[in-house]
Structure 1
């Protein structure tokens, strides 16, 4: 069985995933709202397509009927995850997406029982958000089973896609997030800063509301989790100044203006993706102060998203899984990221 549906296929990341799926002899059907873009893409790739929006739940279910799996690539997922997930539950189609949004992970997790009852898998975060970090977290848990604190960090080159940029704008209004004593907590933007070392050179980093503050807790049970992204010191200072503007950042007109500006920038070119890469750091610590650390190198995050997502699609189409909610490491195993092209451990 090789047929599945990609919703948001004509977006930046959706196109990369569709191309990778085709390269691996799968048969994605392209879907989304923009009929003209989908028709042109379908002609280019030799794939079937269908155009529909998500406003009518019954109509969306009918579009999904007969597909064993739907991969949602249409962000921001705060807007699309619920209608696509609801339709997948009604159509009994596995639901996957490439989100990194904490609230979307929580939404999907709340549907665990409904998914289990219907025998479908709900597995959000099948790309760079959060496959490498989730797998690193699970590997560290195996090395230090009684860990009480987990730090995850990444450096991603190449720049964001329009969809990722819009999602980041939404995040500014919500503030930072961390897992503290097992509970999700709202913290200030750029709550903490520190350095990580890449090839002997220091990289400054700040805390960000990365999806692992939700998913890594599900995967590992470690009660204290912080997530960092490397940025220049000037960016940390600039983000901290935004704390004063946080009430304004949530206003609808401000959000619309910022999203228009963010969405106007194209995603990284193929050449830029080829020339950029990622690093992921993980640190676990237990109550005695024992530590376990892990660092991995990976290709550009969008290239990894394409191969990681298609790998998870292939797994579910060929072997399936017991219905319910899964994080990437729960579905594919802690070492899954190490099987992806171009991924390697550093100094291990």
Structure 2
């Protein structure tokens, strides 16, 4: 019997890409035997019906206003995939409803505050044998897979007991969707989240702390530099990315002690100045009139890159890990195609793995579900990482 998935937020920009990828990969209702069945859902019945007709997929229209009706709508599905932003308005409602309905939950959220709230549902999910996977989109999944693979390699080389700081750096995207712009605005705070090891402890436990915006800035080699200029070194500022939180879970699962985990976004000078100014005014941004003005400006942006722009929207994510002597033992860069198309493939891959797994459930990171990097690449055309490649510029070498 085919696994059944419900995609909420199907009429949004990322939702449409996920729906189209599912129809391409698994087939639609014209196909007699499907390995998986995707049903579309959102609150906009008219747009949903048009999309369902175009893709030849079934659909259900419902709002999130009444939890009992949401639970009824989720009955009979194996996994709920949430692509409906803003996630601070949908994620917690849908995750709790999924737990009540007895189905797993996967989303593509990128907001730290939402991630922390869902993380608190771990014991409820685990007691019911259900999985919760937050941030199964582009950068958080890639950085998690990279970190998990790097820590696995370091353990194999006997270096896992000598680690210092892990840094994740995300290159600036050439084209942004409207939803990504909203997420970036919501992540602006006066401080950024950092995970720190417990001082004078051998425990792998990491606690969350904060650093002022602008205090943590570094240059990373994102690659793609001009031959005559050498490397692709560019400046990045620490930011509130859920990659920090996902990496924290993965390091603790691997039982590897790190001094600190930090996440960065590449920013040119003008963007850094605007970022610092926005952080200073972050409290004022909470005023309704300013929030509405920002929302109005973002709504004027295109919904997202079109097919031609996506074909030219490659991206890079860097992982650096230092040893306790501040020497790089890992300096890897993932080069991908369009982040939005990659998010669609990753979200479906995570959802299918969750449905087929026999794990006890609870809070899982994408790497918990998907496993190590190389086996995923080896799947070829069936791989969600199709077209991605890793530049390993530093290899772990034991000290002599």
Q: What TM-score does the superposition give when structure 1 sets the normalisation length?
A: 0.94
Q: Partners of 2:57 and 2:191 in 1: how far apart?
A: 41
2:30 matches 1:29: no
Structure 1 residues 31, 298: closer, same or farther in 2, change over 3 A?
same
How far 1:178 sits from its partner (Å)?
Answer: 1.8
**Other-structure match for 1:145:** 160
> Who is 2:10 aligned against?
9
Identify the residue that residue 270 of structure 1 maps to in structure 2.
Answer: 307
Query: 1:287 — aligned with what?
Result: 324
Give TM-score, length-normalised by structure 2. 0.82
Q: Alignment RMSD, CA only?
A: 1.8
| CA distance in 1 between partners of 2:46 and 2:275 (Å) | 39
Q: Quick check: 1:38–1:49 contact (8 Å CA) kept in 2?
A: yes
> Partner of 2:200 in structure 1?
none
Q: Secondary structure at the match of 1:172?
A: coil
| 3-state DSSP of counterpart to 1:196 | strand
Among 192, 204, 229, the alignment partner of 2:235 is 204
Separation (CA, whole Å) in 2 of partners of 1:179 and 1:252: 31
Of 236, 249, 263, the residue aligned with 2:285 is: 249
> Paired residue for 1:180?
196
SS of the counterpart of 2:185? helix
Aligned partner (choices 213, 218, 241) of residue 189 of structure 1: 213
Task: Tell me which residue corresponds to 1:90.
Answer: 100
Which is greater in Rg? 2
SS in 1 for 2:188: helix
8 Å contact kept, 1:169–1:255: no
Structure 2 partner of 1:302: 340
Please say if residues 217 and 223 of structure 1, whose CA atoms lie closer than 8 Å, have aligned partners that are also in contact. Answer: no
Distance apart, 1:204 and its partner CA: 1.8
Tell me the SS of whatever aligns to 2:39: strand
Where structure 2 has 5 or more consecutive residues not aligned to the other structure, the ranges are 27-35, 198-205, 225-230, 253-257, 378-382, 394-400
Of 105, 109, 113, which aligns to 1:103? 113
For 1:302-346, what per-residue CA distance to the aligned partner results, in whole angstroms no more than 9, with x for missing partners?
A: 111011111112222334532111001112113176441111111
1:78 aligns with 2:109: no
| Structure 1 unmatched ranges of 5 or more | none
Deviation at 1:175, TM superposition (A): 4.0
Q: Match for residue 124 of structure 1?
A: 134
